[in-house]
Amino acid sequence: MSDDAPRRQLVLATNNPGKVRELSELLAGAGLGVRGQTELGVPEVAETGTTFVENAIIKARNAARHAQLPAIADDSGIEVDALLGEPGVYSARFAGPEATDAQNNAKLVAMLREVPPVQRTARYRAVIVFMRHARDPAPVIAEGTWEGMIQLEPEGENGFGYDPHFYLPALGCTSAELDPAVKNALSHRGQALRSLIEKLRESG
């Protein structure tokens, strides 16, 4: 093991296995070893921010403090134009604090059932934060967006969250129908993470 190996270890500030899988695959290409916070015994922290940036910083700081490692956290969600940007930062708990993906999707579909398809424009937004340590005064922040539409009937078995309802007109399918490698190349989270990696390289 090289001398700098410990500095390459990061904690991912999420308990979502889908996010751990996606982010681990994306970060592996940058030569970074990552571990989910659940594996390291990091407790959850309340997401009290009102923006994606605030919540990502809260989660990254909590993970860095408990794991004593540099941390990466993302906060992401889906913004539906007909709902004035909802569910936004509340995407993971749209139908309640302990809501499942199925419950969140059911609520979204119910709210959009009377909205004409052409007006169901939406986007995924992701903000990713890197903190060198829990007291890092200058976190590195990157963002990505992915435009699409909401379709009422779910399609596809890949992905998680709202993916079965997030339709991509240019591809003629939902994000849940994409191969994971294709999704990583196109998604909001993939865009944000590539931007973050580039910023980290520039800063040394």
Domain range 5-203, CATH architecture: Alpha-Beta Complex (3.90)
The pLDDT tens digits for 118-168 are 999 999 999 999 999 999 999 999 999 999 999 999 999 988 899 999 999
Q: Alpha-carbon distance 13 to 60, whole Å?
A: 6
Q: What burial letters (b/e) apply to 105-114, b meaning 16+ CB within 10 Å?
A: beebbebbee
Domain ranges within the chain, ordered by starting residue: 5-203
Q: What is the pLDDT of residue 5?
A: 42
Which whole number is the average pLDDT over 91-101? 94
The SS3 assignment for 10 reads strand
Is pLDDT of 6 > 70?
no
CB 57 within 8 A of CB 127: no
The pTM of the full predicted model, rounded to 2 decimals, is 0.86
Segment 21-34 mean pLDDT: 76
Distance, CA of 184 to CA of 61 (rounded, Å):
25
Residue from 75, 101, 136, 179 carrying the catalytic annotation: 75
Question: With bands split at pLDDT 50, 70 and 90, how would you rate the model's confidence at 204?
Answer: low
75 flagged as catalytic: yes
Q: Which of 137, 183, 163 is nearest to 26 (CA)?
A: 183
Q: Is 130 exposed, middle or buried (0-12, 13-18, 19+ CB in 10 A)?
A: buried
Given a cut of 90, whether residue 9 has pLDDT beyond it is: no
Q: How far apart are CA 92 and CA 25, in angstroms?
A: 22
